[in-house]
Chains A and B, each alone.
Chain A
Amino acid sequence: MAEQKDILEEHISSEYKYGFTSDIDTETAPPGLNEDIVRFISAKKNEPDWMLEYRLKAFRHWKTMEEPRYWAHLKYPEINFQNIIYYAAPKKKKELKSLDEVDPELLATFEKLGISLEEQKRLSGVQSTIAIDAVIDSVSVKTTFKEVLAEKGIIFCSFSEAVQEHPELVKKYMGSVVPYTDNFYATLNAAVFSDGSFCYIPKGVRCPMELSTYFRINTSGTGQFERTLIIADEGAYVSYLEGCTAPMRDENQLHAAVVEIVSHKNAEVKYSTVQNWYPGDKNGKGGIYNFVTKRGICLEENSKISWTQVETGSAITWKYPSVILKGDNSVGEFYSVAVTNNYQQADTGTKMTHIGKNTRSTIVSKGISAGQSNNSYRGLVRINKGAKNARNFSQCDSLLMSDKCGAHTFPYIEIKDKTAVVEHEATTSKIGEDQIFYCKQRGIDTEKAIGLIVNGYCKEVFNQLPMEFAVEAQKLLAVSLEGSVG
């Protein structure tokens, strides 16, 4: 109870509590995009030629592409890609040896975000620690617990470091799930991506702690283009968390990330996101355009990939975490809660592509729309010929909190094999005055009643999140929907 009260107070004092900016000494590229900028980024990172070539190939391809504007259920002004700064990095004075050498303002920033970059001692008992890769604007500033993980052969580092230290792995897997030609934003990312996280779990290793990347946009006028690559080798297991926030600004900032996951034989990757980019103000001014490509491949038999996302932030969200079920008996899951309030727009969902035999996928999507917002679920279930006995279950629920918001469901189903079993359920409901009155009659006020009802509605998804994240997600939901019933 006390905790819930705090949430409310926090919310009253500031609408988006991560909206501060930090005065960090930053080095930026001039705005605009051309080959020189691509070369500039690559040079800044001291990249090998093959990496620069990859970027240039992507950039040249990008120039031939058109921004996809019409198929998603989204409305926004044209983006001028020449006005964006493609590289911004906190200035490094020298090679960092320890945390003591990191800019204190930067440490304070993460402190304020509730992210500790100190490697605390393991807490006793069941609670596990989390290893964090902290990315601010274009670069990773610190990765924790690297040494502890290295003992087990786990590689967890920034993408830039992986390019330097593990080129054979990066070359082998980068672009293998999301090729640089994939789509407009993925191609743009391939050309200008600045950093992100890299993670490799070797054969038979169960990662002993949650791995996490925390993304923070700080500098005005910048776009964030990070890239994450996760590889679970045969029989490996990893649970990966992603969090993100940005300052409150009047401008719209672009975030175009790529996440690739490769799951080998008998391996499992669980990827959880709590997305809390700045959503813009009450009148729809400012906020992040979150145009993200996330895809995983279950490469061999008995592999599993599970996406769980709680989307509360961003002015516009455009993302479809997907799974390619190539290996026989592989499993793909997608659990999503997407909340839109005020003038936010979301077009999100998943793609499950069944190629292997006896592959199974589950989709549970919970949309919540409030204010004047629009929330769309878009999902594709494709069962290829030869994917014998493939199964999919999809459940898409929408909850409306006001009379002015919209909820839309666009399920696409393509079945090329007769043995497939595909189930789809969809519901739309308005939050009940009856439910709220019932709670009030038991002594529970409106605010708390909405919290209870909405959390109940999202329970199936929250159950998939790691404990600490589930608590954060519930808090976020309460804050995002405060005062939204009408």
Chain B
Amino acid sequence: MLSIKNLRAGIEGKEIIKGFNLEVKAGEVHAIMGPNGSGKSTLSNVLAGREDYVVTSGEVLFKEKNILEMSPEDRAREGLFLAFQYPIEIPGVSNINFLKTAINEIRAYKGLPPMEAKDFLKMVKEKQALVELQGSLANRSVNEGFSGGEKKRNEIFQMAMLEPTLAILDETDSGLDIDALRIVANGVNKLRSPQRSFIVITHYQRLLDYIVPDYVHVMYEGKIVKSGGKELALELEEKGYDWIKKEAVEA
């Protein structure tokens, strides 16, 4: 599904990702943890194709295609979805209109006709329920005046609507209270399938109580320094990151 080899990337001449490797197979959930400034958010931005970031070497294959040569919109149309850490507000544009445009752009890319209005509305209803989003929220402007929790739920709602093959969740748990966290996690769990993979970026083990990962990786200074199963997250929660940093330095 996703194969990242020796990726080096940065912003404004500063290298942040320093030889990053990761293999994600279909249906797997990978958690990436790590202290502040280790390059987790940069990684998600680079994968999504944000223009400010420059890739200096390495390769990223997504479904056997080199996505580093693709525009951000084509990556999205290929099925890569990023749930933003800070979802953006677009005043005056309804959530529904926004999603309809997105879905039909993705369908056009695949050579499909625009979705029938009836099917679209049915889908909206169904997927809203997944994240317990109020009907009225779908008609409001994209993220405008949403609470922090609503914004994050809206990200998961969009993910459900766009049905990506790979979803990257960039600190989706940050700023969520325990109820919102559970709703978001439930939504994600319902979207898990043998064809869909997830990369869950988080600071805290808490989210991983709800979204149980297949693998946990610790990122430090731009690369993965330790990988393990879900127990690694618990160990990190207990011992912090210092021992990892020490190990990394010694290595």
Contacts and interface: CB of A to CB of B under 8 A. Distances in A.
Contact of B90 (A1, A446, A452): A452
B108 A442 contact: no
Contacts of A80: none
Interface centre among B77, B90, B99, B141 (most CB of A within 10 A): B90
Contacts of A91: none
Contacts of B114: 1-2
A455 B92 contact: yes
A443 interface: yes
- Specify which of A437, A443, A445, A448 lies most central, judged by the most chain B CB atoms within 10 Å of its CB: A443
Contacts of B105: 1, 443-445, 448
Interface stretch (A46-54, A105-113, A341-349, A456-464): A456-464
Contact of B104 (A1, A435, A446, A456): A1
Contacts of A439: 90, 98, 102
B71 interface: yes
Given A434-B88, A445-B73, 18 more contacts: A1-B101, A1-B104, A1-B108, A2-B114, A432-B88, A437-B88, A438-B84, A439-B90, A441-B48, A441-B84, A443-B103, A444-B105, A445-B71, A446-B73, A452-B101, A456-B91, A456-B141, A458-B92
Given A441-B82, A443-B109, A452 B98 contact: yes
Contacts of B22: none
A452 B92 CA distance: 9
Given A452-B98, A456-B90, A458-B92, A443 B141 contact: no
Nearest to B101: A444
Among B91, B158, B162, chain A packs the most CB atoms within 10 A around the CB of B91
B109 to A, nearest CB: 7
Contacts of A435: 88-90
B164 to A, nearest CB: 10
A453 B92 CA distance: 8
B72 A440 contact: yes
Closest 8 CB pairs of A and B: A456-B92, A456-B93, A459-B92, A438-B88, A442-B102, A443-B76, A440-B72, A443-B106
A58 B219 CA distance: 80
A441 B49 CA distance: 8
Nearest to A456: B92
B74 to A, nearest CB: 8
B162 to A, nearest CB: 7
Interface residues of B, number: 34
A442 B93 contact: no
A459 B109 CA distance: 28
Given A1-B108, A452-B98, A444 B73 contact: yes
Q: Which secondary structure characterizes the binding site on chain A?
A: helix
B90 to A, nearest CB: 6
B168 to A, nearest CB: 10
B50 interface: yes
B141 A440 contact: no
29 contacts: A1-B101, A1-B104, A1-B108, A1-B114, A432-B88, A435-B89, A435-B90, A437-B50, A437-B51, A437-B72, A438-B87, A438-B88, A440-B49, A440-B72, A440-B73, A440-B76, A441-B72, A441-B73, A442-B76, A443-B102, A443-B106, A445-B71, A445-B73, A448-B105, A452-B93, A452-B98, A456-B90, A456-B92, A460-B92
Contacts of A2: 114
Interface in A445-486: 445-446, 448, 452-453, 455-460
A451 to B, nearest CB: 9
A452 B94 CA distance: 10
Contacts of A1: 101, 104-105, 108, 114
Contacts of B99: 442
A437 B109 CA distance: 18
B117 to A, nearest CB: 13
B193 interface: no
B97 to A, nearest CB: 7
Given A1-B108, A1-B114, A448-B105, A443 B73 contact: yes
